Amino acid sequence: MTEVIYPEERLRQKIHIRDPTLRNALSEFIGTALLLFIGIGIVMQFILSGEKLNTWIQINIGWGLAIAFCVYACSKTSGGHLNPAVSIALLTMGRLPVKDFIIYCFAQTFGAFIGTVGAYGIYYDQFIKYAGNHRTIIGPKATAICFCSFPALHVSNTTAFFDQVAGTALLMFFVCVIIDKRIAIPGWVHPFLFGFVVIMIGTSVGMNVGYPINPARDLGPRIFMLFIGYGSQAFTYHDYYFWIPIIAPLVGAVLAAWTYHLFIGCHIPDPKPVVLSMDEAKQPLRSA
């Protein structure tokens, strides 16, 4: 039997990164950049077409699939968190050292920023056609919602906080269900199901602030807004709302992970403790 070594295998032999932290950070960066490139594109296609080319169901489905496929891409390197809230929950579950958590957060947020740059570039012509030189948060030509969350005036920051706790809690609760080895869903299905969890959340907890449920997804594009003329309003709007989609998801994800194990996961009948090797433990969510 003649064997063939494919070009990408030869490339691998030359460039394979052996340091787990570096390759994981790279994966989180690429994965979150892709996620935001796709995701910001989805929202822009909705807003800039006057809600014609996309409707809310496409936002739900598009974001869900973007999560699914970006997690697939990173599932065997960094685990495909793409979200500091997922990372902090896994930190409390012993899957991620504090140092790596901090690196993941930076990689994710920087990735989100870069992905937004890409989507803005692709849709720059449409942006100009829709909004001209206006860069405003509310009003008829408002485009701020293309980038990140801005609550309506009748939604209080307290409500927004609990909304983001709840939305991210749903995400992390079902992530814990899906990856629980005792629930026994095959690993290759996990990212696809994560995507459908996001679709579900979008149909349910999307009305108050539009389900960011991810600090990097919200902060990265918000920083980008400073560069293209929205000014400090991106941060000061609605009584400094900006910190809520950063902090609340972290709270929600940790609460949900432990709620799942406290009320359900720990009680699944199965006498043997699940034990993993240190190697597996170092690769959070690698099972996917």
* Residue 247 CB-density burial (10 A; 0-12 exposed, 13-18 middle, 19+ buried): middle
Of 99 and 232, the one with the shorter C-beta distance to its own copies is 99
Query: Least distance (Å) from its own copies to the CB of residue 37?
Result: 8
Stretch that binds its own copies, among 104-112, 139-147, 153-161, 223-231 (CB under 8 A): 153-161
* Local structure of 264: helix, strand or coil: coil
Site for its own copies in 26-65 (CB under 8 A): 26-27, 30-31, 34, 37-39, 41-42, 44-45, 48-49, 52-62, 65
State yes or no: residue 172 binds its own copies (CB under 8 A).
no
Query: Least distance (Å) from its own copies to the CB of residue 231?
Result: 26
| Listed residue (161, 189, 175, 192) closest to 253, CA to CA | 175
* Local structure of 225: helix, strand or coil: helix
Site for its own copies in 225-284 (CB under 8 A): 258, 260-269, 273-278, 280-281, 283
Of 183 and 226, the one with the shorter C-beta distance to its own copies is 183
Distance, in Å, from the CA atom of 237 to the CA atom of 245, rounded to the nearest integer, reads 13
Residues with Cβ within 8 Å of residue 124, at least 6 apart in sequence: none
Looking at residue 144, what DSSP letter applies?
Answer: G
Total Cβ atoms within 10 A of residue 162: 17
For its own copies, which residue of 208, 221, 230, 285 counts as binding (CB under 8 A)? 208
Site for its own copies in 80-139 (CB under 8 A): 92-95, 118, 121-126, 128-129
